[in-house]
Structure 1
Amino acid sequence: MNDFQPMTVLNETATADRPWLASLVGTNDTNTITLDLSKFVAGVHYETGTPWQPRNVLKSGIPLGLIDATGLYAPYSGPTSEAQTVTVTGSPTGGTYTMTFNSQTTASIPYNATAAQVKAALEALSNINPGDVLVTGGPHPATPVVVTFAGQYLGDNVAQMTASATNLTGGTSPAVTVTTTTGGGTATATDGTEKLAGFLATESLFAPGSAKTSGALLWFGEVFAAKCPVPFDPKDVAGTRPGVNIHYR
């Protein structure tokens, strides 16, 4: 029985589905590597197969690091992005609150705001662009909201936001607190993946349940960092493996 599988191309660019590649220079400078598939996440690093094309597909352009103990490659684990939790206490029944980030204060946020409303209020600030924050949880006041910094603040240790509950009403001594639940700017990995080794140069197919697969490592060339399939900020690279020569646009 042969192993041919029908393929469907969902999108295509001038660089063969590699919009993250800034230039064709360096595409021949790749190394054949082995990937530790247990470190990759479905929907983030690869698309799962279908009944018509049952193999999973690793996305090209994934930043990679080398696991020192095994010699296998895994996603680059650079500095963490900061996450701050916003909690409304005292069971308010009305009113609004505000948040301040780096001296910029939001417009009034409803006491029962959803994650989307908090996100919109923050992105309306002059120092937060669309995509700079990811907001989950809520709605207030029953459930805290978690603000994770991304975009220009990806992997940064940012200032902790403050909040004002002056205009909250009802309940018992309503208040809003902000706590840093994940500090940004520090690489938590110590297995070697905290150092950038390069990028997965091409899509790589593997059978579900596989422990490893081969791939091509791009270690020399130019990359559009903002177009990588997973968030990547070159200024947050803690270091690179010897011989890695990547330029960013």
Structure 2
Amino acid sequence: MDIQPTTTSETVTADRPWLLSLHGSETNKTITLDLTKFSETVHWVEGTAFQPMRRLKSGLPLGKVTASGLYAPYAAATNEVQTVTITGSPTGGTFTLTWNSQTTAAIAYNATAATVRTALEGLSNIDPGDVTVTGSAGGPYTVTFGGQYLGDNTAQMTATASLTGGSTPGVTIATTTAGGTATATDGTQTFAGLLFTETAFNPGSTKCGAALMVHGDVRMAKLPLPFERPTDRTDSINFS
């Protein structure tokens, strides 16, 4: 395997701005992706009414799941996961979340996970794709950091509550997985290559075919996710 990062300004195609040269593209490997391992916004974007298929971003770093033989996002380090829990069964009011000195707009006590994500993405230091939020309306919410914070041990959020009703309502935050503190053990901790081109798949699908790029020159700054030289790799990737 030979994927060499570079910092030059040459581009090749519209959906592969990270690819410096087509040299080596003929060595792409046909693989099958485990779509259950990929997250919306971070790895794929939703389709439209006219083109309903979802689209995985080209240039995603991938690893191979040993047990299944399928490919999933490269995960040399864990991503930060924090939970936001509303306590005391409030019946009204709002709360805010503060992260790295930036505070969200007021969030309703019974907000959906999508609303919480939108509030966090409204911060100047969180871009679309930097967090995913899951959970039922009213929480608990699970906030996973990715994007530019992929594999980072980030600061823990704090909360300020203005909740009403219930019994002494409040908001608690806990770090359930510290970012950057552990290495995956399912095989994805070893970098296998990059998703060569934007790949479409139907909603509800659990697998799809794709092309894995294992040979070529890559412009690091244009990859869809931050990617650093793997420090624990056992393969023969060469980095300049």
TM-score (ref. length: structure 1):
0.64
| CA RMSD in angstroms, aligned pairs only | 4.0
Question: Does the aligned pair in 1 maintain the 2:229–2:239 contact within 8 Å?
Answer: no
1:54-65 matches, cutoff 5 A: 61-65=59-63
* 1:179 paired residue number: 174
- Matches of residues 226-245 of structure 1 in structure 2 within 5 Å? 227-228=223-224, 232-235=225-228, 237-245=230-238
Shift in alpha-carbon separation, 1:117–1:192, aligned structure 2, 3 A? closer
**Structural mapping, 1:62-211, within 5 Å:** 62-65=60-63, 74-75=71-72, 76-140=74-138, 143-165=139-161, 167-190=162-185, 192-201=187-196
Give the C-alpha shift of residue 150 in structure 1: 1.8
Q: Number of aligned pairs?
A: 209
| Cα distance change, pair 105–190 in 1 and its aligned pair in 2 (3 A) | same
Per-residue deviation, 1:23: 1.4
For residues 213 and 234 of structure 2, the distance between their equivalents in structure 1, rounded to whole angstroms, comes to 12
State percent identity of aligned pairs: 50
State the Cα distance separating 1:64 from its structure 2 match.
3.6
Structure 2 partner of 1:4: none
| 1:19 has 2:8 as partner | no
More displaced 10-residue stretch of structure 1: 125-134 or 167-176: 125-134
Structure 2 counterpart of 1:85, one-letter code: T
In 2, Cα distance between equivalents of 1:68 and 1:113: 39
Which secondary structure does the structure 2 equivalent of 1:97 belong to? strand
Q: Which runs of 5+ in 1 are unaligned?
A: 1-13, 47-57, 205-212
Pick 1 or 2: higher relative contact order, CA cutoff 8 A, min separation 6: 2
Match of 1:6 in 2: none
After TM superposition, the structure 1 stretch with the greater mean CA deviation from structure 2, 156-165 or 130-139, is 130-139
Q: Are the counterparts in 2 of residues 97 and 111 from structure 1 also a CA contact under 8 Å? A: yes
Mapped to 2, the partners of 1:201 and 1:42 lie a distance apart of 19
Question: Deviation string for 1:53-87 (max 9, x for gaps)?
Answer: xxxxx9964534467899x7844332222121111
Q: How far has the Cα of 1:129 moved from its partner?
A: 2.0
Cα distance between partner residues in 2 of 1:60 and 1:173 = 48
User: Does residue 1:40 correspond to 2:34, yes or no?
Assistant: yes
Name the larger-Rg structure.
1
- Alignment check: 8 A CA contact 1:79 1:238 kept: no
Give the Cα–Cα distance (whole angstroms) in 1 for the partners of residues 129 and 211 of structure 2.
31
Distance 1:199 1:155 in 2: 17
